[in-house]
């Protein structure tokens, strides 16, 4: 149907190959050789996903000599403009940079024949809707639109139909399988104490057969704290979060893919569609916000038919939130088991050696580490740390700037014009006897 140019809403479990699901038809429908303006536009919610999708399409379209360009913030815009001027067939990017280039008139979208929105539920969320509407308004009315995601709530489907012509909703799953995740993922949900989580994670990282591992957290500060703690314990770790510059984020992802580090700590920026071979373990350091976040996080393992392990650590105050996720996904973990780093079921359930400690010995530190990966100079404006707010020293306050406004003059009776009576007297009320009051 996609090859025939029909509009499609595609839904499938995370890790089942949605990128090539739209990528192959998209590449097959390109006119070769292409012109000077893009024929297809792929919109992604995050920089990391845009970079990955562009890389996959470039590899798939190499023999067809299809020109693919990734455009997203954090990188210098000049090389992207130069590439557009030389001619590009497929543009993959984030909404902000797409609108920026289009506003500069460096990106011409008038010839786009295929629009793809990857992770469509996030793209059509209320936060992204204004940007999506502006982008769609720049495209020809006659086009093919494809939306792909692992989760597709009913209200999002209704919203998506505004941009599509008689779309076909395809759900690639077994009708008898009500689970939203692949069966190859072994799930553990434990109620853990915040003070013991770091020690518990360090033990889990020594599980038998562990390959690459991803640890997810809700905040940038906690991601950095986990990275610092595991690094101090001797693990080869990298981190990806919003406080890092784009160069540092890409450095961590390259080191993770290349095996120089085997643990990646990230916020949800890396949970959307990032595909790395060999991820065997995923840890939710905290309870995810909702069932969609849980699906996308856990879906980083057990991809393409492989098996994986997912461990979720729930704080006492997040039990109610977890029970909502459990109920929505129909999981059998309503009451998480109270767990500590010394609990026997941690060792037996994950195959952790009985003599494992919270640190790696020098002989166990076999990875090259994050420092072995070059930090690429990608240009562009990198985030700067804000200087601390100035505090009052308790001394004399700074002199107030003298006003140049002319002071109001007073009249002979000492009343300024602003407050001087207007001369209108108040009317006297009369009593029933006729006397004024």
pLDDT of residue 389: 44
State residue 266's pLDDT score: 92
* 198 and 113 co-located in one domain: no
Same domain? 193 vs 275? yes
Distance CA 369, CA 60 (A): 31
Q: Which residue shows structure tokens 């992207």?
A: 80
For the stretch 368-408, pLDDT in tens is 999 999 888 776 555 533 333 444 344 444 444 444 444 44
Distance of alpha carbon 288 from alpha carbon 58, whole angstroms: 33
Q: For residue 288, name the pLDDT band (cuts at 50, 70, 90).
A: very high
pLDDT at 300: 87
Q: Which of the listed residues 172, 206, 226 is the one where a domain comes to its end?
A: 172
Residue 35 maps to which CATH number?
A: 3.40.50.300
State how far the Cα of 207 lies from the Cα of 235, in Å rounded to an integer: 13
pLDDT band for position 134 (cuts 50, 70, 90): very high
Q: Answer yes or no: do 276 and 146 share one domain.
A: no
Look at the block and give the residue holding tokens 């060999």.
278
Is 394 among the domain residues?
Answer: no
Q: Are residues 209 and 272 in the same domain?
A: yes
Residues 248 and 168 in one domain: no
Secondary structure class of 170 (helix, strand, coil): strand
Q: Which residues pair with 279 in a beta bridge?
A: 212
- The pLDDT value recorded for residue 262 is 95
pLDDT value at 195 more than 70? yes
Q: Which two tokens stand for residue 170?
A: 């395809």
In the predicted model, is pLDDT for residue 137 greater than 80? yes
Domain boundary among 315, 336, 370: 370
Per-residue confidence band for 34, with pLDDT thresholds at 50, 70 and 90: confident
Q: Tell me what pLDDT residue 91 has.
A: 97
What pLDDT shows up at residue 182? 59
Cα distances from 324 to residues 128, 186, 427, in angstroms, run 25, 20, 69
Task: Give 2's pLDDT tier (boundaries 50, 70, 90).
Answer: confident
pLDDT at 93: 95
The reply to whether 263 falls in a domain is yes
CB atoms within 10 A of CB 303: 22
Distance CA 407, CA 404 (A): 9
Q: Do 201 and 155 lie in a common domain?
A: no
Query: Tokens in use for 279?
Result: 């991820």
Q: Is residue 179 part of a domain?
A: no
CA distance 39 to 31: 8
DSSP state at residue 223: H
Residues in CB range of 317: below 8 A, 6 or more apart: none
pLDDT at position 9 is 87
pLDDT at 430: 52
**CB-count exposure of residue 318 (10 Å: 0-12, 13-18, 19+):** middle
**Higher pLDDT among residues 418 and 379, named by residue:** 379
Residue 210 neighbours by CB under 8 Å, 6+ apart: 262, 280, 281
Tell the residue number behind the tokens 């591992």, with chain if given: 213
pLDDT of amino acid 386:
37
- Mean pLDDT on 201-224: 94
User: Which residue, 286, 154, 278, is CA-closest to 225?
Assistant: 286
CA distance 394 to 219: 35
Q: Which of 172, 200, 226 is the last residue of a domain?
A: 172
Predicted confidence band of residue 418 (pLDDT cuts 50, 70, 90):
very low
Q: Determine what percent of the chain is predicted with pLDDT higher than 90.
A: 52
Residue 165 is predicted with a pLDDT of: 86
Do the Cβ atoms of 122 and 98 come closer than 8 Å?
no
pLDDT band at 14 (very low <50, low <70, confident <90, very high): low
- Choose the weakest-confidence range: 3-12, 46-55, 82-91: 3-12
> Do 366 and 276 share a domain, yes or no?
yes
**Non-local CB neighbours of 159 within 8 Å, separated by 6+ positions:** 124, 129
At residue 275, the pLDDT reads: 76
Is 294 a domain residue?
yes
Asked if residue 213 and residue 167 are part of one domain, the reply reads no
For residue range 147-170, list pLDDT tens digits in order. 887 677 776 777 777 888 888 888
Q: What's residue 107's pLDDT?
A: 95
State the residue range of the domain holding 311: 185-370
The percent of residues in the chain predicted with pLDDT above 70, rounded, is: 80
The number of domains in the chain is 2
Q: Are 39 and 69 in contact (CB under 8 A)?
A: no
What local confidence, expressed as pLDDT, does residue 415 receive?
46
Computed over every residue of the chain, the mean pLDDT equals 83
């Amino acid at each position: 149907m996609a090859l025939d140019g029909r509009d499609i809403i595609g839904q499938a479990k995370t890790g089942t190959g949605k990128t090539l699901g739209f990528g192959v038809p998209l590449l097959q429908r390109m006119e070769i050789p292409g012109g000077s303006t893009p024929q297809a536009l792929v919109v992604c919610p995050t920089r990391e996903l845009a970079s990955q999708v562009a890389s996959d399409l470039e590899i798939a379209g190499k023999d067809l000599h299809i020109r693919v360009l990734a455009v997203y913030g954090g990188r210098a815009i000049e090389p992207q403009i130069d590439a557009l001027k030389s001619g590009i067939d497929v543009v993959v990017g984030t909404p902000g940079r797409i609108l920026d280039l289009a506003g500069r008139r460096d990106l011409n979208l008038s010839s786009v024949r295929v629009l793809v929105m990857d992770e469509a539920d996030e793209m059509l969320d209320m936060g992204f809707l204004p940007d999506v509407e502006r982008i769609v308004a720049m495209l020809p009315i006659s086009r093919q639109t494809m939306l792909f995601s692992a989760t597709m709530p009913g209200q999002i489907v209704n919203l998506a139909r505004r941009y599509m012509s008689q779309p076909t909703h395809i759900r690639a799953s077994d009708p008898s399988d009500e689970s939203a995740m692949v069966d190859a993922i072994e799930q553990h949900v434990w109620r853990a104490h915040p003070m013991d989580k770091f020690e518990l994670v360090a033990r889990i990282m020594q599980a038998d057969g562990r390959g690459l591992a991803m640890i997810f957290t809700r905040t940038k500060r906690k991601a950095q704290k986990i990275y610092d703690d595991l690094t101090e314990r001797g693990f080869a770790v990298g981190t990806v979060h919003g406080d890092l510059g784009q160069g540092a984020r890409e450095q961590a992802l390259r080191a993770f893919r290349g095996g120089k580090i085997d643990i990646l700590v990230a916020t949800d920026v890396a949970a959307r569609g990032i595909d790395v071979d060999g991820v065997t373990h995923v840890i939710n350091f905290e309870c995810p916000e909702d069932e969609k976040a849980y699906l996308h996080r856990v879906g980083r393992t057990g991809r393409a038919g492989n098996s994986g392990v997912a461990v979720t650590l729930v704080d006492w105050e997040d039990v109610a939130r977890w029970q909502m996720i459990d109920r929505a996904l129909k999981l059998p973990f309503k009451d998480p088991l109270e767990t500590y780093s010394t609990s026997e079921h941690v060792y037996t359930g994950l195959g952790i050696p009985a003599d494992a400690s919270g640190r790696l010995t020098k002989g166990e530190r076999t990875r090259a580490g994050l420092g072995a990966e070059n930090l690429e100079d990608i240009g562009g404006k990198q985030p700067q740390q804000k200087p601390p707010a100035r505090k009052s020293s308790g001394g004399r306050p700074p002199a107030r700037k003298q006003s140049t406004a002319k002071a109001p003059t007073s009249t002979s009776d000492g009343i300024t014009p602003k407050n001087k009576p207007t001369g209108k007297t108040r009317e006297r009320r009369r009593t029933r006897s006729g006397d004024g009051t």
